[in-house]
């Protein structure tokens, strides 16, 4: 078995690897590190989660002269999220050697980044737009930059950055070493590689070894119209710790997010039309585990390393087999198992077959009850009978006591009023997993909102959140007064439950 020392890394870098807890190289690292250390250009076709950041990061660290005053390496990323992620990783890898890594990205004041660049930075990690901008202002000078990485190049293409990428590359030294990473290889990316890479070694980590082994994959045949209900059912059954629900377009992303939110779920949306600030907020919430469900488009969610994602739900069939592999790579990260469930409209069966062919395995039908069986990851997807509607309906009406951990509220359901008072149901952002019991909640609500105990009813504590009802005319005041309050060390957020 190869270890990191066999790959030609120095003692200092090995020390960094011990610090971050990597014991053996991943397949992409095993192939990429020696090639880059030899000075070759490479094309790495690998998805997020494969360990590609260390695959290019470790050789860069080896190469950096910590006494050099100028930028010696540039890593270009399509998004700010990926930029921050890569920067954090490179800082950890370069710490023992004293390598300085500067992150430059849009949506943050340029002045601070200019100052950091003036102070020096051995490696600059930046989004395409901000790097171009800083170069135009002569704040970023790449004369001594002998190592360039294009990370997630296909996403740069999707976002329309390819021309800018070319301009940046043209301003770096001819003798530079270039590494291009891309999950897919559409023709414009091939062309870019032909033009800017010198006899690259192509390193491809086969999709099946990355996904089938660690991700249980299922399909659900469902009509377009029935998808929202099916999604609620799947979430209720699967009880994901964290799930990403992928949709094809920004508009569908927003629509689905609103539908789930209106059902009282703790859910957030992530797509490219959102402001950078909102995207950061959503990402922090999701990464921090406060948001269990993220509805996202491919572009917005790509490159994100979220190791706690237990489920990927393809609400829309991915536009290509490559995208499928890329999406489900969000779960089943190194050493963990995950589940991927793909919704297939009857007319899309052919698309699913293409995916099955690509991954070299059949995708079994999903059925309620699957999660009660012990996991059988190494045996691949399990076979289940197709769910039939009657059975599903019965399950749903029975399942009120066991609401999903992730937060779907009962279907509507105003609190049963025994008098003339109209009651409003509120969702609380914490539950039994936070050590909260009904009495705690009533105590905090009555104290913060200044209402009597009899005005809080139908308290129901679920794993990650809770419900309670208050008189409708007090609801707004209660939400305002209690949101932000502390309950057994957990900050509470309240909002009206969806109708
Ligand atoms: P990446 O594909 O670079 O985004 O890496 C995905 C995740 O795998 C990150 O959380 C890394 O910290 C982790 N990782 C990368 N290489 C290794 C390794 N050799 N052993 C264990 N974890 C790793």
What are the b/e assignments for 161-174, b being 16+ CB within 10 Å? bbebbeebbeebee
Q: Is 375 exposed, middle or buried (0-12, 13-18, 19+ CB in 10 A)?
A: exposed
Question: What interhelical angle do 80-94 and 11-20 show, nearest 10?
Answer: 120
Decide: 25 in ligand 1 pocket, CB within 6 A.
yes
Residues of the chain with pLDDT under 70: 1, 206-213, 302-307, 332-337, 369-420, 498-499
- Whose tokens are 């070894």? That residue is 209
Q: Is the CB of 227 under 6 A from ligand 1?
A: no
| Angle separating helix axes 276-287 and 80-94, nearest 10 degrees | 50
Q: Which atom of ligand 1 is nearest to the CA of 307?
A: 10
Q: Report the separation in Å between the CA atom of 50 and the middle of ligand 1, taken as the mean of its atom positions.
A: 6
Q: Where are the domains of the chain?
A: 4-204, 215-370, 423-496
Tokens of 22: 């990597």
Tokens representing residue 166 in the block: 């070319």
Nearest CA to ligand 1 atom 1: 51
Query: What pLDDT sits at residue 42?
Result: 97
Q: Which CATH number fits domain 215-370: 3.40.50.1820, 1.20.1260.10, 3.40.50.300, 3.90.1170.40?
A: 3.40.50.300
Q: Using one digit for the tens of pLDDT, what is the confidence trace for 386-401?
A: 333 333 322 333 233 3
Any ligand 1 atom below 6 A from CB of 141: no
Q: Which strands sit side by side in the sheet containing 42-45, from one edge to the other? A: 101-104, 123-127, 73-77, 147-150, 177-181, 42-45, 201-204
Distance 41 CA to ligand 1 centre (A): 22
Both structure tokens of 226: 């029935």
Give residue 374's pLDDT: 32
**Cα Rg, the chain, nearest whole Å:** 25
pLDDT, residue 400, reads 30
Residue found by looking up tokens 């737009």 in the block: 129
Phi, psi for residue 237 in degrees, rounded to 5: -75, -45
Q: Is the CB of 32 under 6 A from ligand 1?
A: no
Whether 77 lines ligand 1, by a CB cut-off of 6 Å, is: no
Q: Whose CA is nearest to atom 15 of ligand 1?
A: 51
| CA 25 to ligand 1 centroid distance, Å | 9
Instruction: Name the pTM for this structure.
Output: 0.53
Q: Which helix (H) or strand (E) holds 466?
A: strand 466-471
Does residue 56 have its Cβ closer than 6 Å to ligand 1?
Answer: no
Residue in 55, 330, 334 to alter for ligand 1 test, most ligand atoms within 8 A of Cβ: 334
4-204 placed in CATH 3.40.50.300: yes
pLDDT tens per residue across span 140-150:
999 999 999 99
d(CA 231, CA 397): 16
Q: Is 146 in the pocket of ligand 1 (CB under 6 A)?
A: no
What per-residue confidence (pLDDT) applies to 244? Answer: 93
CATH number of 423-496: 3.30.70.330
Ligand 1 center to 18 CA (angstroms): 13
**Do residues 323 and 251 lie in contact, with contact meaning Cβ atoms separated by under 8 Å?**
no
299 lines ligand 1 (CB under 6 A): no
Same fold, 215-370 and 423-496: no
Report the chain's terminal Cα–Cα distance, integer Å.
57
Q: What pLDDT shows up at residue 423?
A: 83
Ligand 1 centre from 29 Cα, in Å? Answer: 10
Distance 49 CA to ligand 1 centre (A): 6
Cα-flanking dihedrals φ and ψ of residue 26, to 5°? -80, 165
* Pairing verdict, β 311-314 and 338-344: parallel
219 Cβ closer than 6 Å to some ligand 1 atom: no
Between the CA of 59 and the centroid of ligand 1 the distance, in Å, is 15
What is the Å distance from ligand 1's center to 51 Cα? 4
Q: Between the CA of residue 83 and those of 76, 212, 238, 269, what are the distances in Å?
A: 8, 28, 32, 20
Closest CA to 217 of 316, 340, 328, 329: 340
């Amino acid at each position: 078995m190869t270890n990191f020392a066999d790959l030609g890394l120095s003692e200092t870098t090995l020390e960094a690897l011990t610090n971050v807890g990597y014991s053996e190289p991943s397949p992409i690292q095993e192939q990429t590190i020696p090639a880059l250390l030899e000075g070759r250009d490479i094309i790495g076709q690998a998805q997020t989660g494969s360990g590609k950041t260390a695959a290019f990061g470790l050789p860069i660290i080896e190469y950096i002269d910590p006494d050099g005053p100028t930028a010696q390496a540039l890593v270009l990323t399509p998004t700010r999220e990926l930029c921050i992620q890569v920067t954090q990783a490179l800082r950890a890898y370069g710490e023992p050697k004293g390598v300085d890594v500067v992150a430059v990205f849009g949506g943050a004041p340029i002045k601070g980044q200019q100052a950091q660049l003036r102070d020096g930075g051995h490696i600059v990690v930046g989004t395409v737009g901000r790097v171009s901008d800083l170069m135009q202002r002569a704040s970023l000078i790449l004369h001594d930059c002998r190592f360039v990485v294009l990370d997630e190049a296909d996403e740069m293409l999707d976002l329309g950055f390819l021309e800018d990428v070319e301009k940046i590359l043209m301003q770096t030294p001819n003798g530079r070493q270039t590494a291009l990473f891309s999950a897919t290889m559409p023709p414009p990316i091939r062309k870019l590689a032909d033009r800017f890479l010198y006899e690259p070694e192509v390193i491809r980590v086969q999709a099946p070894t990355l996904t089938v082994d660690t991700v249980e994959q299922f399909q659900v045949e469902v009509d377009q119209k029935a998808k929202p209900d099916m999604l609620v059912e799947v979430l209720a059954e699967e009880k994901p710790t964290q799930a990403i629900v992928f949709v094809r377009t920004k508009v569908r992303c927003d629509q689905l997010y609103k539908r789930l939110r209106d059902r009282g779920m703790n859910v957030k949306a992530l797509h490219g039309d959102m402001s950078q600030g909102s995207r950061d907020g959503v990402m922090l919430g999701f990464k921090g585990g406060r948001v269990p469900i993220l509805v996202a488009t491919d572009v917005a969610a790509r490159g994100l390393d979220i190791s706690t994602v237990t489920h990927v739900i393809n609400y829309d069939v991915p536009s290509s087999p490559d995208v499928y592999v890329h999406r489900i790579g969000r779960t089943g990260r190194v050493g963990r198992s995950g589940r991927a469930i793909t919704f297939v409209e009857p007319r899309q069966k052919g698309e699913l077959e293409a995916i099955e062919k690509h991954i070299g395995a059949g995708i079994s039908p999903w059925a309620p009850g699957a999660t009660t069986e012990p996991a059988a990851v190494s045996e691949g997807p399990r076979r289940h009978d197709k769910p039939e509607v009657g059975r599903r309906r019965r399950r749903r009406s029975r399942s009120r006591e066991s609401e999903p951990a992730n937060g779907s509220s009962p279907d509507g359901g105003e609190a049963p009023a025994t008098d003339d008072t109209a009651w409003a149901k509120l969702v609380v952002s914490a539950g039994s997993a936070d050590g909260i019991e009904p009495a705690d909640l009533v105590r905090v609500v009555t104290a913060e909102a200044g209402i009597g105990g009899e005005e809080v009813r139908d308290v129901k504590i679920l794993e990650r959140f809770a419900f309670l009802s208050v008189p409708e005319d007090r609801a707004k005041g209660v939400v305002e007064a209690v949101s932000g309050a502390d309950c057994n060390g957990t900050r509470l957020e309240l909002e009206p439950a969806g109708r």
